[in-house]
Every structure is written in structure tokens, then in C-alpha cells.
Amino acid sequence: MLLSPRYRFLFVHIAKTGGTSVRAALQGLRWRDPWYYPMFLCSRMSHLSGHRIGTKLPRHAKAVLAQELLPRPFYDSLFKFAFVRNPWDLQVSSFHHIRRERPHYLGGHQEFADFLRWKLDPERPYQYHVDTSITRQSDYLVDLHGEVIVDFIGRYEQLHDDFATVCARIGITQPALPHARKATDRKRDYRSYYDDDTAELVARHFARDIKLLDYRFDPD
């Protein structure tokens, strides 16, 4: 999550949706923000700014946390945005990320289908680094009543165009959007990783995302 009091925005960073690139592109704005130094120095004393510095907002915090932590008029005044991704594609991306950077979290499952079944098994013991991609994307976007509380939901599938919309809304010249953490070990088409059973497994687990965000396994 990235908060800018000067530019009046709150970026809700959902893992594996291009958020690292968005964060990197916007990071330079922090140095122009007069609140940056209080945010850095007062990480445990946020009350000094009337709780406007958001120093207790984790990198992948949900929007509802910011809504509850920040004063409501201040939260409401922010342009709040996030990026989302096709759930089937996101699971493939997450698998390759874990296999590349944290292979010990694979639980001994080297193939995507086996790993997916193991990961989505409700009886499996919880592990944070595996379960970040189990969390529904919609959970990051809604309040305690299930109502969407962000102003703009961009899509990974049209990241550059939607990032341009974000920059226009916050009133900045669009910075370069780096392609961070590019995977080189995956097939291009996520659909090739699935059979009918594993595709349905994702459809059931992420049904709320698929409905809210209007995704399909085969967008064609």
C-alpha cells in the first residue's frame, strides 16, 4: 500500500497484479511529498500527524484497513485505486514466483496442478507466503459489508492504459512503468497449465472475484 498525502492517493497493492511496477513508478513522488519525512521518522508515532501518515499500513494491506485506520474525511478525500488480474493467470504467476524465489514453500509439489490442489486444500496448514495468492482480490477492495471502497480498479491485462488513467487522475506526468519481476520460466498462455478439474477448482475458490471483476477462464 502506498499513501501520498500531497498527491492525495492511496494505492492498494494486490500481490502479482503488476503492483511492484506501479509502486516503482510512483515511488519517486515520495521525495516530493513534505509528509515523507514525518512518515519515515514517526513510524510508531503516527498520532503526531493526526493518523494521516499511514505508517502502519503494510505493503499488501486491504483497503478496509486504511479506511479504519485513517480519519474518515481524509480517507474519503483520497483517490484510491488498485490493480487486479485474471484469477487463473494470477495462480500461474504465483506458482512460478514461489518456485523461483521460495521453492521451499512448494510443499514438495513441483508441478503446477499438484501444487494448486495442495495449496487450495482447506485442510492444509496455513503458510503466509503461500496463502497471499489464496486471498481473494475482492477482499482488498471492499469494506466490512462487502461494498467496494476504492475509486478505480485497473487491470493487469491493460496495465499501461489503466496506469495512464491513474496518473491523469492524480495530476502527474506519467512516469515510465518498469516491468518488474518478469518471469522467464512460464508459458505465455496461462490456459495451457489447466485441465477441466483445476480450472474449476480456481473457479470455485475465486468465485467472488470472478463475479465482481468479470473475469473468465477463456476471455475469447
Classify residue 128: in a domain, yes or no.
Answer: yes
Q: List the alpha helices (DSSP H) in the chain.
A: 19-26, 36-41, 63-69, 72-77, 87-101, 112-119, 128-131, 159-170, 196-205, 207-213
CATH number at residue 196: 3.40.50
Residue 140 has pLDDT above 90, yes or no: yes
Classify residue 108: in a domain, yes or no.
Answer: yes
Q: Which domain holds residue 39?
A: 2-213
pLDDT, average across residues 89-111: 88
Classify residue 110: in a domain, yes or no.
Answer: yes
Classify residue 218: in a domain, yes or no.
Answer: no
Q: Residue 184 — pLDDT band, cuts 50, 70, 90?
A: low
Classify residue 117: in a domain, yes or no.
Answer: yes
Q: List the alpha helices (DSSP H) in 137-206.
A: 159-170, 196-205
Residue 47 has pLDDT above 70, yes or no: no
How far is residue 184's CA from residue 85's CA, in Å, rounded to a whole number?
19
Q: Residue 29 — pLDDT band, cuts 50, 70, 90?
A: confident
CA neighbours closer than 13 Å in the CB half-sphere of residue 172:
20
Classify residue 115: in a domain, yes or no.
Answer: yes
Mean pLDDT, all residues of the chain: 87
Residue 44 has pLDDT above 60, yes or no: no
Report if pTM > 0.85: yes
pLDDT of residue 188: 80
Classify residue 93: in a domain, yes or no.
Answer: yes
How far is residue 13's CA from residue 152's CA, in Å, rounded to a whole number?
13
Residue 32 has pLDDT above 90, yes or no: no
Pick the more confident residue, 55 or 207: 207
The structural domain count of the chain equals 1
pLDDT, average across residues 164-187: 82
Q: Please list the residues that pair with 190 across neighbouring strands.
A: none
Residue 181 has pLDDT above 60, yes or no: no
Q: Residue 203 — pLDDT band, cuts 50, 70, 90?
A: very high
Classify residue 129: in a domain, yes or no.
Answer: yes
Q: Residue 196 — pLDDT band, cuts 50, 70, 90?
A: very high
